[in-house]
C-alpha cells in the first residue's frame, strides 16, 4: 500500500542478489577452496557454466516467489521468511541442475557456496532496510507514516484494522478518522468532519490520507479529492464497491477502460506459477514413492468388499467449477444411496453427514480413513491441475447450494488435498464450520504457509487426530 520501496530499489536488489551469487562462487573457488585443497585435497570444479546459470536460476526463483514484490514484503519478517524459503528452493534447484548436467562439484564446495551466498544476501537485505529507515527518518522527521482515514464507518474501520495488522512494527500510525455522522463525531478517534481535512492534515503532520466514504457521499468525496490534490501527501480511495467482491477486487484494463474485477483470484500470477511448480514437483515425487502402497491398498479394498477400488465423486473447485475427485473407496458399494440413514442436523439446523459409527464404512476403509490414505489418489487431481496439495477442501455440490454469500470466498484459490481445516480439527469439525478455516487460508495464502500445513498434516495423520 505505502510506497516504502521504489522500483529502482527493487532493481538494485535484483542486481545485488545476482552479483552475490557470483561472489559466492568466486570466493568458494578462488579463496576457500585453496585452503581446503591444502588440508584435505578437495578441489572445486565450478565451471564457467555455473557462473552463468546459477545467478539466473537464483534470480528467477526469487522473482517467481514474489520476493521483489515490495507491496507484499513491507515488514522485514515477511521479506526474510520468504527469502529463507526461496533460498532453500534455489539450493535444491541448483543441486538438481548439477546432477542433471553431470557436473562434478564436491559437496563441501557446494554447501560452502550456498551458506556463503545466503549469508551475504541476508546481510545485504538488512543493510538495505537500515539504509531505507535512515533515509526515511530524515525525510519524514521521525520515520513514521501518519495516516488519516476519512470515513469512520465499517469500511474505514476494517481498513484501519488491516493496516495495523499488516504493519505491527509501528512504522505506520493511524492518527484518526474524519466523519460527518453526528453519532461518530462523539467518538474519541474521530477528529472532526470531512471538510476539516486540510486543517487536521496540517496540525497532525499527516503524510497519507485514505478515503473510505460510501458511494452515497460521492459529491463530498469529489470535493475532498479536489482539496487533497493541492497537498503534497499520498491519497488512496477505497471504493464502496469493494464490499461486493468475493475476495479482493483487482483493477484491470479492458478495452482501454479501467475496471474493477470483483472475481479476481486471491493469488497473483507469480504466486500461482510458484504454487503450481511446487505442486507438480512434490506431487510427482509423492506419486512415485506411494505407488506401491496405492497398489497394495487397491488389492486390499477389492478383497475386503465388492466394488471398484477407486471412488469418483463430483466436487466444486476453484471459481465453483465442478470436477471429479478421486479417492479410495472406504464404504460399501452404492453408499451414497444410504446417506439418509446417517445424516442428521445439529442444534442450529446444520447438516452433519459424518459420524464415527457409520455402518457403511468397510474394515479396510476405517483404517484408510484413520490414516488419511484414502486421499492418496487425489495426487492425480493435483497433477491434472484440478487441485493443489494445499487449499480449501473441495466441497460437495449440495452443500455449496446452501452457502451464504460470505462463504463463496473459499473458491478464490484451488482446492487442496490438505488444508488449514485438516490440521485444526479434521472430521471433529462439522462441514459448515470448516468454511471459516478455509477462508482464513485464502486470506493468508503463501508457499510458506503451504509448507507449514503439509508438515503439520504429517503430524496430524501420524497421531490420527480427528479422522473417522
Mean pLDDT estimate for the chain = 79
Domains in the chain, start-ordered, CATH in brackets?
7-140 (no CATH), 145-244 (3.40.50.720), 269-462 (no CATH)
* Confidence band of 157 (pLDDT split at 50, 70, 90): confident
Q: What is the pLDDT of residue 144?
A: 66
The continuous run of DSSP H or E covering 237 comes out as strand 234-237
132-147 mean pLDDT: 62
Share of the chain above pLDDT 70, in %: 74
| Confidence (pLDDT) at 324 | 95
Model confidence pLDDT, tens digit, residues 370-392: 888 999 999 999 999 999 999 99
Residue 175 has pLDDT above 80, yes or no: yes
Mean pLDDT of 216-221: 82
Please tell me the predicted confidence (pLDDT) of residue 3.
46
d(CA 424, CA 314): 25
DSSP for 344-396 reads: EE-TTS-EE---TT-TTB-HHHHHHHHHTGGGTTHHHHHHHTS-EEESSPPBP
CA atoms within 13 A on the CB side of 377: 18
pLDDT in tens, 285-294: 999 999 999 9
Spatial strand order of the sheet with 172-178 comes to 172-178, 145-150, 208-211, 234-237
Q: 155 pLDDT band (50/70/90 cuts)?
A: confident
| pLDDT tens digits for range 97-115 | 888 877 777 788 888 899 9
Are 99 and 110 a contacting pair, CB within 8 Å?
no
Rounded average pLDDT over 393-420: 85
Which of the pair, 452 or 24, is modelled with greater confidence? 24
Residues 13-35 have a mean pLDDT of 83
The C-alpha angle 176, 180, 184, rounded to 5 degrees, equals 60
* Region 291-311 average pLDDT: 91
Kindly indicate the confidence band of residue 249, based on its pLDDT and cuts at 50, 70 and 90.
low
Asked whether the beta carbons of 391 and 415 are under 8 A apart, the reply is yes
Beta-carbon contacts of 423 under 8 Å, excluding residues fewer than 6 positions away, are 453, 456, 457, 460
| Cell matching residue 253 | 484494463
Burial 91-102 (b: 16+ CB within 10 A, else e): bebbeeebeeee
Question: Is the whole model's pTM more than 0.75, yes or no?
Answer: no
Amino acid at each position: 500500500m505505502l510506497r516504502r520501496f521504489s522500483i529502482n530499489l527493487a532493481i538494485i536488489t535484483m542486481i545485488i542478489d545476482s552479483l552475490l551469487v557470483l561472489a559466492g562462487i568466486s570466493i568458494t573457488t578462488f579463496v576457500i577452496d585453496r585452503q581446503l585443497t591444502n588440508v584435505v585435497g578437495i578441489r572445486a570444479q565450478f565451471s564457467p557454466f555455473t557462473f552463468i546459470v546459477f545467478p539466473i536460476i537464483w534470480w528467477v526463483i526469487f522473482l517467481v516467489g514474489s520476493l521483489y514484490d515490495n507491496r507484499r514484503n513491507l515488514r522485514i519478517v515477511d521479506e526474510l521468511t520468504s527469502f529463507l524459503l526461496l533460498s532453500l528452493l534455489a539450493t535444491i534447484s541448483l543441486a538438481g541442475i548439477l546432477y542433471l548436467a553431470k557436473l562434478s562439484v564436491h559437496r563441501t564446495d557446494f554447501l560452502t557456496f550456498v551458506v556463503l551466498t545466503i549469508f551475504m544476501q541476508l546481510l545485504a537485505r538488512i543493510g538495505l532496510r537500515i539504509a531505507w529507515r535512515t533515509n526515511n527518518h530524515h525525510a519524514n522527521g521521525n520515520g513514521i507514516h501518519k495516516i488519516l482515514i476519512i470515513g469512520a464507518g465499517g469500511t474505514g474501520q476494517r481498513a484501519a484494522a488491516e493496516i495495523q495488522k499488516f504493519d505491527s512494527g509501528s512504522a505506520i500510525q493511524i492518527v484518526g478518522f474524519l466523519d460527518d455522522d453526528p453519532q461518530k463525531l462523539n467518538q474519541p478517534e474521530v477528529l472532526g468532519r470531512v471538510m476539516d481535512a486540510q486543517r487536521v492534515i496540517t496540525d497532525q503532520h499527516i503524510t497519507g490520507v485514505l478515503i473510505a466514504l460510501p458511494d452515497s457521499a460521492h459529491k463530498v468525496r469529489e470535493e475532498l479529492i479536489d482539496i487533497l490534490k493541492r497537498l503534497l501527501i499520498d491519497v488512496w480511495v477505497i471504493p464502496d464497491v469493494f464490499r461486493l467482491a468475493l475476495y479482493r477486487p483487482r483493477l484491470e484494463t479492458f478495452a482501454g477502460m479501467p475496471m474493477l474485477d470483483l472475481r479476481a483470484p486471491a493469488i497473483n500470477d507469480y504466486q500461482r506459477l510458484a504454487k503450481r511448480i511446487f505442486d507438480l514437483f512434490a506431487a510427482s515425487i509423492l506419486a512415485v514413492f506411494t505407488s506401491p502402497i496405492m497398489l497394495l491398498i487397491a488389492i486390499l479394498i477389492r478383497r475386503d468388499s465388492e466394488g471398484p477400488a477407486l471412488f469418483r465423486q463430483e466436487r466444486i473447485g476453484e471459481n465453483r467449477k465442478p470436477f471429479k475427485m478421486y479417492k479410495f473407496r472406504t464404504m460399501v458399494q452404492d453408499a451414497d444411496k444410504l446417506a439418509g440413514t446417517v445424516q442428521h442436523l445439529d442444534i442450529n439446523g446444520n447438516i452433519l453427514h459424518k459420524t464415527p459409527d457409520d455402518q457403511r464404512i468397510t474394515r479396510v476403509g476405517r483404517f484408510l480413513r484413520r490414516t488419511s490414505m484414502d486421499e492418496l489418489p487425489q495426487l492425480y487431481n493435483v497433477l491434472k491441475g484440478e487441485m493443489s496439495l494445499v487449499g480449501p477442501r473441495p466441497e460437495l455440490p449440495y452443500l455449496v447450494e446452501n452457502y451464504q454469500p460470505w462463504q463463496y470466498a473459499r473458491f478464490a484459490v484451488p482446492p487442496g488435498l490438505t488444508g488449514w481445516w485438516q490440521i485444526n480439527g479434521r472430521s471433529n469439525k462439522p462441514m459448515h464450520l470448516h468454511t471459516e478455516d478455509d477462508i482464513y487460508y485464502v486470506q493468508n495464502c503463501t508457499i510458506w504457509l503451504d509448507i507449514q500445513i503439509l508438515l503439520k498434516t504429517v503430524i496430524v495423520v501420524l497421531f490420527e487426530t480427528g479422522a473417522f
